[in-house]
Structure formats: structure tokens, C-alpha cells
Structure 1
Amino acid sequence: MHRVQLHYTLSRDAGNALIRNPLPELLQAVAEHGSISGAARALGLSYRHVWGALKRWEDQLGGELIVWGKGQSAQLSDFGTKLLWAERQAQARLAPQIAALHADLERAFAVAFDPNAHVLTLYASHDDALVALRKHAAAQADAGALHLDIRFTGSVDAIRALNEGRCTLAGFHTVEDAVADALTARTYKPLLQPGLHKIIGFAQRTQGLIVAPGNPLALHSLADVARTGARFVNRPLGSGTRVLLDDLLAQAGIAADVIPGYAHNEPSHTAIAEAVAAGAADVGMGIELAARARGLGFVPLVHERYHLACLKTSLDQPPTLALRQLLHTPEWLAQLAALPGYEPLHCGEVLAMSAVLPWWQFARKKRSHTPRH
């Protein structure tokens, strides 16, 4: 069975053909001019090149393409005729789809050649406000100057990706009053270092228990979840919400193994809400927006800050500057404030690490005074 591969050409002048394949062009030229030499002249190629190309195609496809009758000009074989017919049929049937794909590719690559456009790669803990931000940036009238390439992963993995150079920004979240010996501090402190990283403010959001409509099991705390044996659905290890949950359980003196379903993981807040909506779980930990979007109940537990971390060296580079400017605009701030469970918090501002990550405390250096003699 022969398979078809699609390729595209990227150049200043790639021609007008929507899909170009050299074999149909050779076959068409031979059919029109009745000889290899005539086809070569029409295509601006040498006789040797056209002859060699046809022979290579015959070997590759396993069939004769050109036949010569005694005293007759070169003609397409039955196989060659069917190949040319198939190509014409495909071009005719698929022309609208091919044209749309062609236009999409040109629009995508136009960004690469636009000096005013920027692409910013962001690895982040799952967050619906970032999805809204990506759409907002793409919808801007100024030719979409900022394009956000967002890949959702756990908070820990996001910061590691930043430190390994796989992204420019990392999104993660912490509660405001995290203490120095909490799991949150022990998790993030080795990954973020003063002098190397910078923190950009984004939002405050509410996390809590996503429950069925009306909260039929009357779950108002993690203690209620443990007491009632409600079926819980968790986030994976490495996610910021899993870190937050483990901290809250520790503060409440609740062992993880008394939470039914603690080992059952879902990859996002959306997936948590869908599990509860489908009746596969009674409760899960997630953001308010995910619950409200599916008509579920929500019990707020904590307010947390969502941060964007970057390396100090990229803070003033054009893509990061473009994002910081976008985050300051009244249009985005209004859109963020309208999301359930969200409010702007120092959005786009560069913040002191000691202020937003409370486990970092920097003592002021005292000046030493040497007595003069």
C-alpha cells in the first residue's frame, strides 16, 4: 500500500500552487509535449534530469509511467494516466480545504516574520484565567502582537521547566500565610532563588471543595470529607493544588489515608468538576470557576495568589514586557475580575520575592563601623 505525505514550502516566493508535487508536473508536461525533451524544455530542466526523475519514480512506485510505441511519441502508461487523473481529482475535491489549510499556515508563519509580534512560552499550573488571557491576547486588534504558548502542567514541573530553559514563564500558586516549615515552602523554596528569579503578579483566586449541586452531603471542610467518607478525587503529585491540599490536611491533623479516593487523580480543575458532575466522585479540590461553569456547588476554603515566575534575565525582554503591558490594561483587568472566584492582584507588577513568598526573609545588612585612631 502506498501512502501520501504532505509537505509545504517556506520561502519568499513559494509559488501559487496549493499542493505541489513534482511527479504530476512531469507527467503533465510529457502528456502535453509528447517527449522527454519537450517536457524538459517546458519545465526549464535538463533532459537528463527529467529522464532520471521519471526512472526514480518508476522504481519507487513499482510501475511504468512512460511508454513508447514504434515511431510514436512518448505517452503516459495506463498507470501514469491514472496517477495524473487521481491527482487532478484530489485537487478538485479538496481545493476548499487545501486553500483553508494554506491560509492557516501562512497566517501562523506570518508571526515569525512580523518584528512586532511576540511568542511567549508559559508552563503553568492549570488555571482558567490563563486560558482567558490567551484568548484575550489573540483577539487584540494590533495584529495579535502577543501569542501565548501555554502548556499546563503541575506547578513543580512548571518551575523546573523554567529552570531548565524550556519556557520563559512558570505559573504557580501559594497561599499568603504559608509558614516556613509548611510543605508549600519546602516544595518551592529550593526551586526559586532570590537574585535569579523574579515574580510577576497575576491574580488572587479561591480554592475549595467542588461538590454536587446543593451540597447534599453537607461538606464544609476537609474534616467533613474524612468524617462522612465522601468519595474524594485528587490532583496529581507535583500539582500546586495537591501541595495545597496536603498542607491543609496537615494543619487539620487529618491523615491522607482516611480520605477515600485520595489516590484517585485527575489532571485539572476541569476534570475534577467533571468527575463530580458525572457522579464518579462526591467531592474534589479545585477552583470556584470550574465548579460554577458546570452548575456545581462550591465551598471556599482558601484564597491564594497565582504567580508568574521568570528568570531575571528575561524580565525586560520584549515578549515579557508585552505580557506585562497587557496585564495592566483596563480591558484585561475587567475581564479577570468578572471570572468567578478571581480578582486582579498586582497584575503585571514585578513583586518582591520576600513579600509574596513569605518563607524568604531577607535581613538587612548592618554596616560595620571601624573606630578611627
Structure 2
Amino acid sequence: MHRLQFHYTLSRDSSPALVRNPLIDLLQAVSTQGSISAGARALGLSYRHVWGELKRWEQELGNELVVWEKGQSARLTEFGAKLMWAERQAQARLAPQIEALRAELERSFAVAFDDSAHVVTLYASHDDALSALREHALIQEHSRLHLDIRFTGSVDAIRALNEGRCVMAGFHTLQNTGPKTLTERTYKPLLQPGLHKIIGFAQRTQGLMVAKGNPLGLSSLQDLATRHARFSNRALGTGTRVVLDELLTQAGLTATDIQGYEHTEPSHAAVAHAVAAGLADAGLGIAAAALRAGLDFVPLAQERYHLVCLKSALAQPGIQALLQLLQTPAWQDAVACIPGYTAIQSGEVLSMRRVLPWWDYRQQKTQAIKF
């Protein structure tokens, strides 16, 4: 079975949308002109080039393409004729789809050639507000902002920022987490004052996603342990996993107290689906994911969702356009419509020490002197 590959070209010229292999043009010319030399002249190519290409394609495809005998016109083999037939059939059926694909590609590339448009690549923890922001930016007449969002775990998102794979990252932490906590141990090695800048985005509620009616009467992590509820967790490297482990510590519990702690899902939606399907009794997530899956939601904690970029990127036009959009009343009203969300200092560049209170600069300086 031979596989097809598609390629496209960029040009200033307006030309019809074509998905066509050069071999088809060679076969068409030879068949119409009756010889390789005449076909080559019709295409403006040399006899040697056309001969070599036909031989190369015969070797590639494992079949002869052209038959030529002394004193007779060259003609296509049965295989060559079937290739031509397949091309005509495909072109006739797919012409509208090919044109639609060309138009979509042109729309996408138009952004690259538009000096007033900006693309911001953002790696971020799964978040409904960010998805809403991406759509909100597209419908704003004057924003010209395109958010290229790749959802991943909070830790991986910040690493992507530090490795230059994006210009901004999104992560979330419990409110008011102090020093010597898992939150500090997780994020402090990844963030550096003077290098990174925190940007306010939203406050959201994390809680237990449970079946409709909450049949087990779960209202806390302690209930998960005492009632042996089956739990669906998030993977290492996700912000929600850090939040869970932080809440377990605060409740005096360990991972071994939670049945199903080792069972993980890749997103809030996947956890909600596991609960809705009866594969788990509960999972930690956001209210919006629970409501979409027809589940009940038990609030447990408030957290801040942060955006972070390098200080050197703050002046970039795309980042400036994003900050302006985040501060508009229209966007902040849109956030308020998402269950469990509130816009808090949205679009403001914030002090890392105030937002992440475990960053104690004086303590850092004291430790540096001791060493």
C-alpha cells in the first residue's frame, strides 16, 4: 500500500488550488504527445529529465508506466492508465474540499503577513477560562490577538517557558500557601525573581466532582478516606496533583489513605468523565468540568490561576495586546460567567512575593550569606 503526502507552496500569485503530483503531468504529456521527446518539449523539459523521472517513478512504484516500441507511439501501461484514471476521479470528487483547504491555509497564513496581528504561544495547565479567552480574543474586532495554547501540566508549562518553547505559561496554586510547603518545593526551583514576571488572571474553586446527588455524602478529603471512596487523580507534574497533595497534608492524610490515588487521568474533563461513567466516586477538579459532565460539585479550596512570562518578553506587542485584553470589562464579565471563576487582578503585572508568599527575599539573602 503506497501512502500519499501533501505539500503546499507560498506565492504572491493567485492560482487555482491544485493537489497534483508531477508524475501525472509527465504521464499526461507522454500519452497526449505520443512520445517521451514530444512530451518533454510540451512541458518545457529535457528528454533526459523526463526519461530519468519516469524510470525513477517506475522503481518507486514497482510497476512500468510507459511502453514504447520501435516505430510506434509511446503509450501508457495498464498501471499508468489506472493512475491517470485515479487522478481524474479524485480531482472530480475532491475539488471543493481542496479549495476549502486552500482557503483555510490562506486565512491562517494571513496572520503571519499582517503586521497588526500577534500570536502568543502559551503552554498552560488545563483551564476553562483560558479556552474562553482564546475564543474571546478572536471575536474582538480590534484585538488582532491569536492565542496558540498547548494544554499541559503546570510544571511542564513553566519548564516549556524556561526552555524557550513558549512565551508565556499558565499555572495555578492554592491561595495563601506559605513556606516549606509542597507548593514551594515544586515551583520555587522553576521561577526566579528578576527573570520571571507574574501576571494576574483569575481565581477559581477546586473541589470534589461527585455523582449527581452525592450518594456517598462526600464533603471533604477525610470523607474520601473514611468511606473508602474510589478516587480519580491527576498525573505528576499537574497543578491539581500539587493542590491535592497540599490539601492532604493540611488534612493530616497521606496518599495511602485515598483509594485510587495512583489512578490518573489527563485533564479535569477526563476525571469528570471517569466519575460520570461510574469508574470512580470522586475526583478533584473545577466546577465547570463537573457541571458539563452532569455531576455535583463540592467546593474545597480557592486557588489563583497565574500567567507567567520572562521579564524581557513584557514589551513584546503580543504580550502587551494580551494584557490589554485581560483588563477589559468585557473579558472580566465573561470570566464571571464561568462557574467557580472570578477575574482577580486580571492583566496586572504583580509582585512575585505577594502572589507567591513563600518567596521571602530576605530569607533568600540570609541563606546566601550563610553559604
Common fold by TM > 0.5: yes
Partner secondary structure for residue 241 of structure 1: helix
Change (3 A) 1:67 1:264: closer
> How does the TM-score come out when normalised to structure 2?
0.92
Partner secondary structure for residue 190 of structure 1: helix
Change (3 A) 1:189 1:47: same
**What is the Cα deviation at residue 99 of structure 1?**
2.0
Instruction: Name the counterpart of 1:138.
Output: 138
Instruction: Name the counterpart of 2:307.
Output: 308
Change (3 A) 1:52 1:285: same
Instruction: Name the counterpart of 1:22.
Output: 22
Check if 1:168 corresponds to 2:167.
Answer: yes
Alignment length (residue pairs): 363
Tell me if structure 2 keeps the 8 A contact 1:176–1:358.
Answer: no
**What is the Cα deviation at residue 137 of structure 1?**
2.0
Structure 1 window deviating more from structure 2 (151-160 vs 57-66): it is 57-66
CA deviation string 1:284-341 (max 9, x = no partner): 1111111122221111111111000111111111221121122122222111110000
CA deviation string 1:33-74 (max 9, x = no partner): 223333223222223222222222223223333333553333
CA deviation string 1:268-291 (max 9, x = no partner): 111111111111111111111111
Partner secondary structure for residue 192 of structure 2: coil
Stretches of structure 2 lacking an aligned partner (at least 5 in a row): 364-371
Instruction: Name the counterpart of 1:371.
Output: none
Check if 1:158 corresponds to 2:157.
Answer: yes
Instruction: Name the counterpart of 1:33.
Output: 33
Instruction: Name the counterpart of 1:81.
Output: 81
Instruction: Name the counterpart of 2:258.
Output: 259
Check if 1:62 corresponds to 2:82.
Answer: no
Amino acid in the other structure paired with 2:105: L
Partner secondary structure for residue 189 of structure 1: helix
Change (3 A) 1:106 1:155: same
Tell me if structure 1 keeps the 8 A contact 2:63–2:79.
Answer: yes
Structure 1 window deviating more from structure 2 (247-256 vs 50-59): it is 50-59
CA deviation string 1:6-36 (max 9, x = no partner): 2222333484242121111111122222233
**What is the Cα deviation at residue 166 of structure 1?**
1.5
Stretches of structure 1 lacking an aligned partner (at least 5 in a row): 365-373
Partner secondary structure for residue 304 of structure 1: strand
Instruction: Determine the C-alpha separation between the residues in 2 that align with 1:73 and 1:226.
Output: 85
Instruction: Name the counterpart of 1:47.
Output: 47
Instruction: Determine the C-alpha separation between the residues in 2 that align with 1:147 and 1:338.
Output: 22
**What is the Cα deviation at residue 101 of structure 1?**
2.1
Q: Percent identity?
A: 69
Tell me if structure 1 keeps the 8 A contact 2:219–2:298.
Answer: yes
1:208-227 to 2 correspondences below 5 Å: 208-227=207-226
Change (3 A) 1:357 1:21: same
1:1-373 to 2 correspondences below 5 Å: 1-13=1-13, 15-142=15-142, 145-363=144-362
Instruction: Determine the C-alpha separation between the residues in 2 that align with 1:301 and 1:63.
Output: 68
Amino acid in the other structure paired with 1:205: R
CA deviation string 1:227-273 (max 9, x = no partner): 21111111111211111111111112122211111111111111111
Partner secondary structure for residue 20 of structure 1: coil
Tell me if structure 2 keeps the 8 A contact 1:203–1:347.
Answer: yes
User: Alignment RMSD, CA only?
Assistant: 2.0
Instruction: Determine the C-alpha separation between the residues in 2 that align with 1:70 and 1:360.
Output: 87
Instruction: Determine the C-alpha separation between the residues in 1 that align with 2:114 and 2:248.
Output: 50
